[in-house]
Structure 1
Amino acid sequence: MAISLQKGQRISLSKEAPGLSKIICGLGWDVIKPAGGGFFSNFGNKAGQEYDLDASVICLSDNGKLTDNQNIIYFGNLSHPSGAIVHQGDNLTGAGDGDDEIIIIDLARIPSSITKLVFVVNIYDCQARKQDFSKIENAFVRLVNVANNQELARFNLSGQDYQGMTGMILAEVYRHNDEWKMAAIGNGVSVNGLGELVKSYI
Structure 2
Amino acid sequence: MAINLQKGQRISLTKESPGLTQVMCGLGWDVQQGGGLFGLFKNTPDFDLDASIICLSQGDRFVNKQDLVYYANLRHASGAIVHLGDNLTGEGQGDDEQILVNLAKIPNSIVKLVFTVNIYKCRERKQDFGQVKNAFVRLVNSKNQQEVARYNLSGSEYQGMTGLILAELERREQDWGMTAVGKGINVDGLGELVALYQRSR
TM-score by length of 1: 0.93
Query: Aligned residue for 1:147?
Result: 143
Q: Note the C-alpha offset of 1:62.
A: 1.5
C-alpha contact 1:32 1:47 (8 A) present in aligned 2: no
Q: Note the C-alpha offset of 1:158.
A: 2.5
Q: Does 1:133 align with 2:129?
A: yes
Q: Which of 166, 179, 185 is the equivalent residue of 2:162? A: 166
C-alpha contact 1:47 1:135 (8 A) present in aligned 2: no
Q: Does 1:69 align with 2:65?
A: yes
Which AA in structure 2 matches 1:46?
F
The whole-number CA distance in structure 1 between the counterparts of 2:28 and 2:69 is 17
Identity %: 61
Residues 109-128 of structure 1 mapped to structure 2, 5 A cutoff = 109-128=105-124
Q: Note the C-alpha offset of 1:49.
A: 1.0
Query: Aligned residue for 1:49?
Result: 44
Which AA in structure 2 matches 1:83?
G
Query: Aligned residue for 1:22?
Result: 22
C-alpha contact 1:56 1:119 (8 A) present in aligned 2: yes
Query: Aligned residue for 1:40?
Result: none
Which AA in structure 2 matches 1:191?
V
Q: Note the C-alpha offset of 1:16.
A: 0.8
The whole-number CA distance in structure 1 between the counterparts of 2:87 and 2:119 is 12
Provide the secondary structure at the position in 1 that maps to 2:8: coil
Query: Aligned residue for 1:6?
Result: 6
C-alpha contact 2:135 2:155 (8 A) present in aligned 1: no
Tell me which structure has the larger Cα radius of gyration.
1
The whole-number CA distance in structure 2 between the counterparts of 1:149 and 1:156 is 19
Q: Deviation above 3 Å: which 4+ runs of structure 1? A: none
Q: Which of 174, 178, 183 is the equivalent residue of 1:182? A: 178
C-alpha contact 1:167 1:189 (8 A) present in aligned 2: yes
Q: Note the C-alpha offset of 1:177.
A: 2.5
The whole-number CA distance in structure 1 between the counterparts of 2:155 and 2:138 is 17
C-alpha contact 1:88 1:103 (8 A) present in aligned 2: yes
Query: Aligned residue for 1:42?
Result: none
Provide the secondary structure at the position in 2 that maps to 1:55: strand
Query: Aligned residue for 1:41?
Result: none
C-alpha contact 1:61 1:67 (8 A) present in aligned 2: yes
- Give aligned pairs, total: 193
Q: Note the C-alpha offset of 1:147.
A: 1.1
The whole-number CA distance in structure 2 between the counterparts of 1:94 and 1:163 is 18
Across the aligned residues of Structure 1 and Structure 2, the Cα RMSD in angstroms comes to: 1.2
Say which is worse superposed, 46-55 or 10-19, in terms of deviation. 46-55
For each residue in 1:58-82, what CA deviation from the matched residue of structure 2 results, as whole angstroms up to 9, or x when unmatched? Answer: 0000111011000000000000000
Flag structure 1 segments of 5+ consecutive residues without an equivalent.
36-44
Which AA in structure 1 matches 2:124?
A
Q: Note the C-alpha offset of 1:34.
A: 4.8
TM-score by length of 2: 0.94
